[in-house]
Every structure is written in C-alpha cells, then in structure tokens.
C-alpha cells in the first residue's frame, strides 16, 4: 500500500518543533542579573572579612600569635614589635636602663612562666574565636594610653581574640584560655593585652 500525501523531510519535522532557545536579549539580562547577585555576595563576604580584620592591613590575630610565641622564644624584638610603637619604646628604654641582655629581660619579665613550666617553655596556640569589641573598650584604652604616654593613639578597629594556649615544658604543662585584644593603627595590627578567661589562674599574661 502506497503512502499518501507529500513526504515530510527530517529538516521540516525539526523546524516544526517548539524552540527552547531563550531570546538573546533576555539571556543577556539574566546573565547581568546573576552577575549582580554574585558581585553583591562577594562584596558582602569581603566586607565581613574586612570588618573583622581578616583582610585589609593584615590580620588582628597575627600580633597575638607573635606576642605569645615571643614569650616562649624569649625573643625581645618580636615581643616588642607586636606592640604599639610607644609601648614598645617603653620596654626598650627599660631594657637599656637595666643593662641586661634581651633574653635576660624576657626571663625576668616572665619568670613566673619559666618557673612554672620550665626554661624550655613552648606555647602551642589555637585561635578559638574572634569578635569586634565595642566603642567603650576603645575609648577606655585611649584614655589609659594617653595617661601613660601623653598622647592619644589613632586607632581603627579593635578585636577580641580568644586563644587556647598550651604551655608545656620540662616541669609541667597546662592548657590556658586567654582573651587577647588587638587594635589596628594605620595599616598595622598590634596587641594591647591579654587576660585569663578564668579567675583561678595565678599567672598574669598582661603586658
């Protein structure tokens, strides 16, 4: 039996199918919309990182880590360079007046640590949290700084850095939780102090 009617080619069948193509203008609009969303998300993440000191002029954690490591290493230069310039100068002047070596000065300054844990003290540091401190803390620090050094420091952001520090040596070992504070001045971050989280510790980590 012969087929009736005109033979339909494959090309004609394909031409009659509904098109799934998105018009060029609409596709361009969708791409621009998605790009805007992506840029907004990235900008939001970068702002959070910048506000918390993760990017932009270094990290607020770095001077805290440097400060604690310097205590373990008895490294006076690393210790003072983690501080605001006038605070560091105060320590350098004290060292010069005592007429002792930088290592001897660190041993004197932290004799309680070395006596408790041993002269071969090591400190393993883990950052467990970070948060931005309120304006009241910054104002109080500025007032204290001015009373001691005679000028008001120009500070940007200030962070509280939570630290789990494992102190160990030939005599003993202990895990000590600290709340350290760093501030941004100019393009750099500096440590301004550390406190114990608990009240039962006998040692002081304040500068």
pLDDT tens profile 100-110 = 999 999 999 99
Q: Is the pTM of this model over 0.85?
A: no
Residue 70 lies in a domain: yes
The pLDDT of residue 120 is above 90: yes
Mean pLDDT of the chain: 79
180 contacts: CB under 8 Å, gap ≥ 6: 64, 67, 160, 161, 162, 163, 191, 193, 194, 195
Question: What is the C-alpha to C-alpha distance for residues 8 and 123, in angstroms, rounded to an integer?
Answer: 83
* 114: region left, alpha or beta (phi > 0 left; psi from -120 to 50 alpha): alpha
Longest distance between any two alpha carbons in the chain, whole Å: 118
pLDDT tens profile 154-187 = 888 899 999 999 999 999 999 999 999 999 999 8
Domain, as residue range, for 182:
62-196
Residue 72 lies in a domain: yes
* Residue 168, beta-bridge partner list: 122, 173
Write the CATH number for 157.
3.10.450
Question: Phi first, then psi: what are they for 143, rounded to 5°?
Answer: -65, -45
Residue 75 lies in a domain: yes
Residue 108 lies in a domain: yes
Q: Note whether 194 and 179 are within 8 A (CB).
A: yes
Number of domains in the chain: 1
Residue 1 lies in a domain: no
Residue 207 lies in a domain: no
């Amino acid at each position: 039996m012969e087929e009736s009617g005109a033979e339909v080619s494959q090309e004609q069948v394909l031409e009659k199918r509904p098109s799934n193509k998105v018009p060029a203008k609409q596709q361009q609009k969708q791409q621009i919309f998605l790009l805007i969303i992506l840029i907004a998300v990235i900008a939001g993440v970068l702002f959070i990182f910048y506000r918390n000191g993760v990017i932009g002029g270094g990290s607020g954690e770095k001077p805290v880590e440097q400060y604690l490591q310097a205590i373990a290493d008895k490294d006076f230069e690393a210790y003072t360079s983690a501080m605001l310039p006038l605070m560091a100068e105060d320590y350098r002047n004290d060292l010069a007046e005592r007429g002792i070596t930088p290592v001897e000065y660190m041993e004197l300054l932290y004799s309680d640590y070395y006596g408790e844990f041993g002269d071969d003290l090591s400190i393993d540091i883990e950052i467990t949290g970070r948060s931005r401190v309120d304006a009241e803390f910054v104002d109080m620090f500025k007032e204290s700084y001015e009373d001691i050094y005679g000028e008001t420091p120009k500070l940007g952001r200030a962070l509280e850095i939570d630290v789990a520090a494992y102190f160990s040596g030939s005599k003993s070992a202990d895990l000590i939780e600290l709340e350290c504070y760093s501030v941004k001045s100019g393009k750099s971050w500096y440590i301004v102090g550390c406190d114990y989280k608990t009240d039962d510790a006998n040692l002081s980590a304040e500068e």
